[in-house]
A and B are shown apart, each in its own frame.
Chain A
Amino acid sequence: MPRIYINDWPPFSPPDQSRRNNVIEAAKLIVNAAMTAPNAGGVSQVEAEIVYGMEEQEQIARKMEELAHEESQEHISHLYKYEAVMVREADCIVFLGDFRAIETPMDAGCGFCYGVDDCRWLYTKHPSYMGLIDATDRRSKTVVKGPLCGVRVQDFGYAIGSALWMAYHLMVDARPYYTVGVAGQKLGYCPNSPIVVGILLAALSKNPFVDVNTAYHLVNMSKLIDAVRKTYILFRQSGGDYRISDPWAEIFRERRKKEKKEEK
Chain B
Amino acid sequence: MSIKFEELQEETLLDVAKLCAAAVLKAPQITGRVKFEMEILKKEELPNLIEALMILGRLHMFCMLSAAAYSTALQEGKPVVILLIGASGLRQSELNWNCGACGFKTCGEFNAYAKTIKEPPVGALIHGPVCNWKMIDYAQGCTWACATAWANNITNRIEIASGMAAKAIGYLEHCDVVHGLPLGPMEELYWYSRRFINQFMSYDLWKERLQEMFGVLFQTFVGDGRTDLKITDDWWMQRHTSKVQPVSMEEYEEMKKGIARDIEDLKKRVKGGK
Set of chain B residues within 8 Å of A113, measured between Cβ atoms: 102-103, 128-129
Set of chain B residues within 8 Å of A165, measured between Cβ atoms: 27, 143-144, 147
Set of chain B residues within 8 Å of A121, measured between Cβ atoms: 103, 129
Binary interface encoding of chain B residues 80-112 relative to chain A, with 1 for a CB under 8 A from any of its CBs, else 0: 000000000001000011111111110000000
> Is there an interface contact between B105 and A176, defined as CB atoms closer than 8 Å?
no
Set of chain A residues within 8 Å of B25, measured between Cβ atoms: none
Q: Does A178 contact B (CB under 8 A)?
A: yes
Binary interface encoding of chain A residues 188-199 relative to chain B, with 1 for a CB under 8 A from any of its CBs, else 0: 000000010100
B36 CB to nearest chain A CB (Å): 13
Set of chain B residues within 8 Å of A110, measured between Cβ atoms: 124-126, 128, 160
CA distance A145 to B132 in the complex (A): 12
From A75, A147, A157, residue with most partner B Cβ within 10 Å: A157
Q: Does B47 contact A (CB under 8 A)?
A: no
Binary interface encoding of chain B residues 103-139 relative to chain A, with 1 for a CB under 8 A from any of its CBs, else 0: 1110000000010010011111111111011011111
B163 CB to nearest chain A CB (Å): 11
CA distance A76 to B125 in the complex (A): 32
Set of chain B residues within 8 Å of A147, measured between Cβ atoms: 101-103
Known: A112-B125, A121-B103. A73 touches B98 (CB 8 A): yes
> Is there an interface contact between A114 and B141, defined as CB atoms closer than 8 Å?
no
B223 CB to nearest chain A CB (Å): 23
Known: A112-B129, A178-B30. A157 touches B140 (CB 8 A): yes
Q: Known contacts A38-B146, A153-B135; can you find 16 more A-B pairs with CB under 8 A? A: A108-B125, A111-B126, A112-B126, A112-B129, A114-B103, A125-B103, A140-B100, A142-B101, A146-B103, A147-B102, A153-B139, A158-B142, A161-B144, A161-B147, A162-B147, A176-B28
CA distance A195 to B136 in the complex (A): 11
> Is there an interface contact between B129 and A157, defined as CB atoms closer than 8 Å?
no
Set of chain B residues within 8 Å of A85, measured between Cβ atoms: none
- Chain B interface residue count, CB cutoff 8 Å, equals 44
Set of chain A residues within 8 Å of B146, measured between Cβ atoms: 38
B126 CB to nearest chain A CB (Å): 5
Binary interface encoding of chain A residues 135-162 relative to chain B, with 1 for a CB under 8 A from any of its CBs, else 0: 0000011111111101001111111111
Q: Does B166 contact A (CB under 8 A)?
A: no
B225 CB to nearest chain A CB (Å): 20
From A73, A115, A143, residue with most partner B Cβ within 10 Å: A115
Binary interface encoding of chain A residues 180-193 relative to chain B, with 1 for a CB under 8 A from any of its CBs, else 0: 00000000000000
> Is there an interface contact between B125 and A157, defined as CB atoms closer than 8 Å?
no
| Chain B binding surface, main DSSP class | loop
B60 CB to nearest chain A CB (Å): 8
Q: Which of A37, A115, A161 contacts B124 (CB 8 A)?
A: A115
**Sample of 6 A–B contacts (CB below 8 Å):** A112-B125, A125-B103, A157-B139, A157-B140, A165-B143, A176-B28
Q: Does B240 contact A (CB under 8 A)?
A: no
Q: Does A46 contact B (CB under 8 A)?
A: no
CA distance A236 to B103 in the complex (A): 59
A residues near B (Cβ < 8 Å) are: 37-38, 40, 73, 75-76, 108-117, 121-122, 125, 140-148, 150, 153-162, 164-165, 174-178, 195, 197
From B97, B127, B157, B158, residue with most partner A Cβ within 10 Å: B97
Set of chain A residues within 8 Å of B137, measured between Cβ atoms: 157
B246 CB to nearest chain A CB (Å): 14
> Is there an interface contact between A154 and B139, defined as CB atoms closer than 8 Å?
yes
CA distance A95 to B50 in the complex (A): 40
Known: A117-B124, A146-B103, A146-B132. A157 touches B138 (CB 8 A): yes
Q: Which of B100, B114, B127, B147 contacts A144 (CB 8 A)?
A: B100
> Is there an interface contact between B100 and A143, defined as CB atoms closer than 8 Å?
yes
Q: Which of B27, B128, B160 contacts A114 (CB 8 A)?
A: B128
A19 CB to nearest chain B CB (Å): 23
Beta-carbon nearest neighbor of B148 in chain A: A165
From B30, B91, B104, B133, residue with most partner A Cβ within 10 Å: B30
Set of chain B residues within 8 Å of A38, measured between Cβ atoms: 142-143, 146, 157-158
Across chains A and B, which 8 residue pairs bring their CB atoms closest together, nearest first?
A142-B100, A157-B139, A111-B124, A147-B103, A161-B140, A115-B117, A161-B143, A117-B123
Set of chain A residues within 8 Å of B122, measured between Cβ atoms: 117
> Is there an interface contact between A197 and B120, defined as CB atoms closer than 8 Å?
no
CA distance A147 to B133 in the complex (A): 12
Beta-carbon nearest neighbor of A166 in chain B: B147
